[in-house]
Structure 1
Amino acid sequence: MRAWTPTGRPGDPLELATPQRPTPGPGELLVEVRAYSINRGETMLLERPRPGWRPGKDIAGTVVSVGPDTADWRVGDRVVAHPESGGWAEFAAVPAGRAALLPDSISDRVAAALPLAGLTAPRLLRVAGPIAGKRVLLTGASGGVGHYLVELAATQGALVTAVTSTPDRGERLLELGAADVVGKVGDTDGHFDLVLESVGGETLAEAWARLATRGLLIWFGQASRTPITLDFFNWSGAESGTLRKFSYAESDIPDGADLATLVRLVQGGHLHPEIGSVRPWLDTPEAVRALLERSVRGNLVLEVGQ
């Protein structure tokens, strides 16, 4: 089979290699990959790849083989899955507990946009607790996670202010239910009960200053790649508040179960994955560059075999 493999070379991080096609072990599925999406975090891992690692955590495709202890799965099942790695390939082995069945009404390209970004959004909101009627500030909102967060939070009755780098990147967020879209945290008015922050650098400190008394700020990323400096003696915001670090992987609900929920929401018309670009999978190196240059709004999907 063919698969994208990291080179470790700056400016040329990927090469198309021919590793051995995986064999599913106990509790695993072998999936013929039809589409996958690229996450910003994976592009950063390409800079210093660990030995033996191949990128790819978000895939959709068809089961072509099942390992032992997978009685509920059949060859021919369409799935969306979240393997630990190796998904930028023609075939990928996936633990069955990290996959969910796909109905015919959801295409592979839409399903491929679900896993990491889709899993992150509802898990963040579970940590946040009830948000109906609350003012929510979301930074870095124009990526895949941001679109899911806006739609899910607005559906739950939150008043979401989304921060995006340019106005055109925020248009879709208004359609998905954002109450307001601004270009920077300093353009907001008042204070917020909940802040969801993923930019880092000066943005986190600015967002902390917008937190309401006894509010909650959840930090879940550092897209700016700039270290954070936070002055707790700056009382321009809340006199007291909570700062929490979040990791999407720390969940009491298995990936497969959460993926099945996302599939139901999409099927029912309650969740709309934002796909900013769809390209042939052989264009993956160019797609990685586009994502690093922040020229793609929402998710970037590659179709295998195209």
Structure 2
Amino acid sequence: MRRVGYERSGGPEVLELSSAEVPTPGPGELLVKVQAIGVTLPVVRKVRESADPIPLGGEIAGEVIAVGDGVTGYTPGYRVTGLCFGHGYADYAIVSARVASPIPDGASAVDAVALVRSGLVALGALDAARPAVGETALITAAASGVGHLAVQLARVRGASWVVGAVSDPAKADFVRSLGADEVVTYAETAWGKAADYGLEAVGGDLLTPALDALAPGGRLVAYSSGGGTIQAYDLLVGAKSVIGFQIRRIAEGQPEVYDHWRQELWQYFASGQVRPVHTEFALADAAQAHAHVEARANLGKVVLIP
């Protein structure tokens, strides 16, 4: 089979396509013939920053080919999506049955990769903001794989006005097509209508302007791996709050909530209330896909197709 990996850290150019043996599922594992692979900014960053090469894992979707000992509920032929913690940029990959979930009829493998993991992050961050019907929402990275779903979910959950913040004004029409009422760029000094809550996915120097864009008493949910610092005075003067959110904590500590969110996402998809948008690259073009994400050029999810 084909597999993408790298021998040294660096930019997208270090990614290489090579041959590898098809893996064998161990106890509790599924062997999946991969039909779609989600490309995420954290994985792109790891390639550039990790001291030693690591397997390119992440969200995949496809057809179960074989199951390991002790697996119940899945047999060959099932279509599933889930996280691969090993080599996921490949024609075949291993997924733990514990973190796999079925793809419903009417949805493709690409739909699953574009919707489930990114949608779980978006929906979880939204729940952490405790939105009330009629409030104004601010979504940063509004054109990203998570952000473009967050814009739609905020509307579904009753936001009366949605402000999308993006890095490039060329993304404005796309974000408006998702249901945003207003689109601003990070470089602007004012970020539109003051928001009751914000979902902040960028971090770093963007934390302070995102906090400034909130109305008095506003809540900012920070779920980026980009770091950043907020001054306590900026919270006190506007009686604002910042809430940290991490999807892994929910998946491991509250699996019933995780499963509920997943079912909710598929219901929104089936009803047409949420539509995942994606850009496809061939598996052999993984370097181009990484460059696309690193340049923040993507509109929606970037997906590799073996």
Q: Normalised by the size of structure 1, how large is the TM-score?
A: 0.88
Q: Distance in 1 between matches of 2:43 and 2:281?
A: 18
1:240 partner amino acid: A
Q: 2:212 pairs with 206, 209, 212, which one?
A: 209
Deviation at 1:199, TM superposition (A): 2.0
Q: Distance in 2 between matches of 1:99 and 1:24?
A: 14
Task: Report what 1:220 is aligned to.
Answer: 223
Question: 2:238 matched to 1:233?
Answer: no
Higher helix proportion: 2
Deviation string for 1:28-65 (max 9, x for gaps)?
A: 21101011121111100112346573113111110001
1:2 partner amino acid: R
Q: Distance in 1 between matches of 2:21 and 2:266?
A: 31
The answer to whether the 8 Å contact 2:33/2:91 transfers is: yes
Distance of aligned partners of 1:207 and 1:300 in 2 relative to their CA distance in 1, 3 Å threshold: same
Q: Secondary structure at the match of 1:217?
A: strand
Q: Distance in 2 between matches of 1:220 and 1:50?
A: 24
Task: Report what 1:294 is aligned to.
Answer: 296
Q: Distance in 1 between matches of 2:266 and 2:233?
A: 45
Question: 2:37 matched to 1:36?
Answer: yes
Deviation string for 1:216-255 (max 9, x for gaps)?
A: 1111115xx5x634333358x9532211222121111366
Give 5+ residue unaligned stretches, structure 1.
none
Question: 2:140 matched to 1:139?
Answer: yes
Task: Report what 2:178 is aligned to.
Answer: 176
Distance of aligned partners of 1:125 and 1:229 in 2 relative to their CA distance in 1, 3 Å threshold: closer
Deviation at 1:177, TM superposition (A): 1.9
Q: 2:281 pairs with 251, 268, 279, which one?
A: 279
Give 5+ residue unaligned stretches, structure 2.
none
Task: Report what 2:2 is aligned to.
Answer: 2
1:152-191 equivalences in 2 (<5 Å): 152-158=153-159, 159-184=161-186, 186-191=189-194
The answer to whether the 8 Å contact 1:100/1:260 transfers is: no
**Runs ≥4 in structure 1, deviation > 6 angstroms?**
none
Q: Distance in 1 between matches of 2:93 and 2:260?
A: 20
| Cα RMSD after superposing both structures | 2.3
Q: Distance in 2 between matches of 1:282 and 1:211?
A: 43
The answer to whether the 8 Å contact 1:101/1:260 transfers is: no
The answer to whether the 8 Å contact 1:43/1:292 transfers is: yes
Q: Distance in 1 between matches of 2:304 and 2:115?
A: 13
Deviation at 1:214, TM superposition (A): 2.6
Q: Normalised by the size of structure 2, how large is the TM-score?
A: 0.88
Q: Secondary structure at the match of 1:8?
A: coil
Task: Report what 1:105 is aligned to.
Answer: 106
Q: Secondary structure at the match of 2:248?
A: coil
Task: Report what 1:47 is aligned to.
Answer: 48
**How many residue pairs get matched?**
299
Task: Report what 2:84 is aligned to.
Answer: 83
1:182 partner amino acid: V
Identity over aligned pairs, percent: 30
Q: Distance in 2 between matches of 1:149 and 1:124?
A: 9
Task: Report what 1:245 is aligned to.
Answer: 244
